[in-house]
Structure 1
Amino acid sequence: MTQMMGGVLSLFSGAGGLDVGLEAAGFNTLACVEMDETARNTLTVNRPEWMAVEYTDVLEAAKKLRPSELGLRRRQLELIAGGPPCQPFSKAAQWMSTARRGMEDDRAIPLHGMLELVDRFLPKAILIENVVGYIQGPGNARPVLEAGLAAINRANGTKYRVDVAVLNAADFGVPQNRDRAIIVARRDGVPFEFPEPTHRTNPITAWDALHDLSDVEWAPKHGAWTELLSCIPEGSNYQYLTARGGGPEIFGWRTRFWSFLLKLARDRPSWTLPASPGPNTGPFHWNNRPLTVAERMRLQSFPDDWKLRGTPRAQVRMSGNATPPALAEVIGRALVAQMRLGTPLSRRALLASPPRLVQKRATSWVAPRAPGSLPNHFEKLVGEKAAHPGAGLGPMSHTVQLT
């Protein structure tokens, strides 16, 4: 274990992705605050020492938690880190009847609790990871965050300033294209320099991540759309089965979500893993089946010994919501370097070694298989279909029924 560079108060900890990455960068998570019981059980099983406080709600912790409970004085904590609830800011929220409400959504209130804890602890830095909509677009959280930090600065003589970037996890060695908003605010007001991409031109692929995991048996239900996976090439989706694809025309062009029957490509990173996929929502494995939890964890860059608790559905949700640990490690290493945390010797030793959580590249390769033929009972659906009418006209309901 790397010599600890500083203590972290983890908020909205979830399955621990942010904390696993910061741990690999030399940080010591002193306590986690997490509402979800299954996620808390996951953290307890993997790192019982992280569950050092009884508070599960950030708003409750904001009222009661004191630095002394973590053996600290005010200003001694190195980092407050977390990913506040993202649902109000996500792209998926745009498809809901209420659309994206941002800071007007009750689920955004915990950010205020986070700001209260910043005021209480005055850490050397703050780290927030979230969806891109958290800092961009209607109702985004950035004005609230900046106003809150400005009030803290006026009251305490600190110099917190917000630095933001949108980073694709695949550019830093995560085998998954996943755009994330990263927010850093240093107490001394020094701008944070975001790390430069290391894998943009030569990313870690889905094959690198999954090639050595055992395959599983899975058969789609007769007549279900997932039966069509075997007819779709790797790296493609339902659009292969449209007038503009290479297969028989079953669907109208762009009349479904992009992730509908979406398959992994062995030679590319995965697409973003959803937290609550429907029965036809990809990415699916190139062997024409849903991804296992172990495969999802690999694509998120978790170490193999990190175990999730709860039902299979809960594990899918936690793995999809998690911060990719390898991305968190890269950000943590940048914080260590720029804030000169730890001793000079321990800092040099950490930064001289490569990131620990980046997946090694595969040394073997199996070529993709050609798509198979259309199952006979889908033949009656083949024929000309209307395409989506165009941008700005909204989602359409071109639904093909199997009878």
Structure 2
Amino acid sequence: MKFFSYALYSGLILGILSGYARPKPDQPAKPMAGIEKTLFGTFPDGRQADLFTLRNKAGMTVKITNYGGYIVSWTAPDKAGTYEDIILGMPAFADYLKGTPSLGPIIGRFGNRIGNARFSLDGKEYVLAANTKTNHIHGGRVGFDKKLWTAKPVTGDEPALHLTYTSIDGEEGYPGNLAVEVVYTLQKDNALRIHYTATTDKATVVNLTNHAYFNLSGMKRDVLGYELMIRANSYLPTDASQIPTGAIQPVAGTAFDFTKPAVVGARINDTTDVQIRYGSGYDHCWVFTDASKNLKLGATVRDPESGRFMEMYTTEPGVQLYTANHLNGLKGKEGVVYKRRYGLCLETQHFPDSPNKPNFPSTVLRPGETYSSTTVYKFSVK
């Protein structure tokens, strides 16, 4: 009887201990941080594009392809803790090859517009591809968004993807052989850090950015109800072709005042404002009040319904806000139709048409110098 009692007691103790050691069957395993490479698609000439899935321990995932550096998908939690895709993209690799309205790629050599598709540097005029009427936009007809980049994945708690590309002298009309590296790093705090560097062997102009379209609702609604703040007291008015006039205008008293959080859709259709008419909404560059090259908070976006809150930090002097004014029913991922104003872009950058505007911060890069720019998009709930 004593032996039975001792055996029973020992069994109970072991059972309790083993219960602590084993997770409950319904307890989800913690996500593993790291990076995974899979085939994204094959070009007609046999080259392959890869898809890299970056994952942190919190459960955020970001998928990036080395074709154009596109951010293909990006999940972030809502106020209930549900992770959903918050970025516009296409269903398959073949759709990216056909061309997209810049749904998430690296933009270069020069993000945004250059007037009359030409500029002068050191006394020489350079003629670029005119791919938006008479102007040049986003690097030309075959910009960085249409190049196959060399990829190097780096694993760890903060996985990273290093992409490199060399743009040859004369490509799209730009001077100099430009060696570019873009590093995407998924941080522990649910932030994606994008760091750009470039060097050249001849004086040139450089203005790199990413053209992600954010939809914080998880593709359920347009962006008109979002609350937006931009730390900028000024913006750049444009002419009718959306080339900056050269003026730097205060936002106070205009539809462009987001110095305090304001609803995106509140003034977006105010056609009494000629600038709203020119852009068919917001498609302008804001000038940050903090003109330093430090990494600083530039803007915040909040979707009141999902609770998703995005902070944008950058070393750049400005940001182009674009509210997807020209999306018109594009069929995207999961069969979702991207209607007008279904996304919001915050393209950190130097100012549009800087090569032709001496009063704007210079975008000239010379041999021996290194172009360096950092932008961080951080997600939380609020």
Q: Same fold (TM over 0.5)?
A: no
Task: Tell me which structure has the larger Cα radius of gyration.
Answer: 2
Specify which structure has the higher proportion of helix: 1
Specify which structure has the higher proportion of strand: 2
Q: Please indicate the TM-score interval, normalised by the length of the shorter structure.
A: under 0.3
Relative contact order, CA 8 A, sep 6+: which one is greater?
1
